[in-house]
Amino acid sequence: MTATIHRTQSFRYGAYLGRRWASLGVGLVGGLLPLGVVLPAGAAPSSAAQLVATAVADSKAASSVTVAGSVVTNGGTIGIHVTAGSTGAGYGTVRLGRDAVRVILSGSNVYFEAGRGFWLRNEGKTAAQLFANRWVQTAVTTSDGRQLAQLVEANSLMNQIFKFGDGLSATRFRVLGRSTISGQPVTVVEPSNIKGVGRVYISRSSTPYVVRLTGSSNSGAGSVTFSGYNRPVTTSAPKNPIDIDQLGKARAGG
């Protein structure tokens, strides 16, 4: 039975979810919410623009973070709830339409679990019988494992979400006021030269962090919340995973 399972296709679908989420982040930040802060050399930036630039830099530098949110686009709903660390530990769930995929990074391996419907739609009945609701394991050194691990690694995930496209023109910002998110005081900032595209909520703390992004456009709308910056993250391997790397070796040798 195992000889009929196509390891690369199934794992790359998990990586595809990651790429879709990365596209979501770029869309929110670079499209729905254009935060392309380009500060000319020697320029004195406005306090709002500097606050956004500092908060984004501090958020990207955090050792861990929990990211939760969803976006509805013309292509469907994309969601994420991930706690990402920086020392080989992270976990969470990524959703694309009907499919929910759980990912755990623990040490040198990454683990992937999805339901029967996912496997039926992407691999067929045989794969669903073998893998549905089972943890599947691969090394982070494989190409597919690396892409999955990037979903639950703080540096990789935050760099994807806050990836600004080259050549974005400077965006001007204004401070709308103050608010709270889950009891945390925040400063609310929005672009002043592009109306109605979204807002950035930045923690009012000695180290400012992005707490929430909201955005909307003709192609979609969504919200992403960030919490738990720099908290310890620990994970352990799930019990009795299926080692897809070993299956691949057995198939190649058989």
Residue range 106-127: mean pLDDT, rounded: 89
Q: Which of the four pLDDT bands, split at 50, 70 and 90, describes residue 188? A: very high
Q: What is the pLDDT of residues 55-105, one digit of tens each?
A: 989 999 999 999 999 888 777 788 889 999 998 999 999 887 888 889 999
Please check the confidence at residue 10 and state whether its pLDDT lies above 70.
no
Tell me the pLDDT tens digit for each residue of 50-60: 888 899 899 99
| Domain chopping of the chain, boundaries | 2-228
Beta bridge partners of 201: 188, 212
Percent of the chain with pLDDT over 90: 38
pLDDT exceeds cutoff 90 at 23: no
247 pLDDT band (50/70/90 cuts)?
confident
Burial letters 42-56, b for 16+ CB under 10 A, else e: eeebeebbebbbbbb
Between strands 184-191 and 76-84, the pairing is unpaired
Tell me what pLDDT residue 139 has: 94
Largest CA distance in the chain: 66
In tens, the pLDDT along 218-246 reads 777 888 999 999 999 999 999 999 998 87
Give 120-126's long-range contacts (Cβ < 8 A, gap of 24+): 122/9, 122/10, 122/13, 123/5, 123/6, 123/9, 123/10, 126/1, 126/4, 126/5
Distances (CA, A) of 118 to 50, 110, 154: 44, 18, 26
**Partners of 82 in beta bridges:** 67, 92
Share of the chain above pLDDT 70, in %: 73
Q: What is the mean pLDDT of residues 203-213?
A: 94
Q: CATH number of the domain at 2-228, please?
A: 2.50.20.20
- In this prediction, residue 91 carries a pLDDT of 97
pTM of structure? 0.81
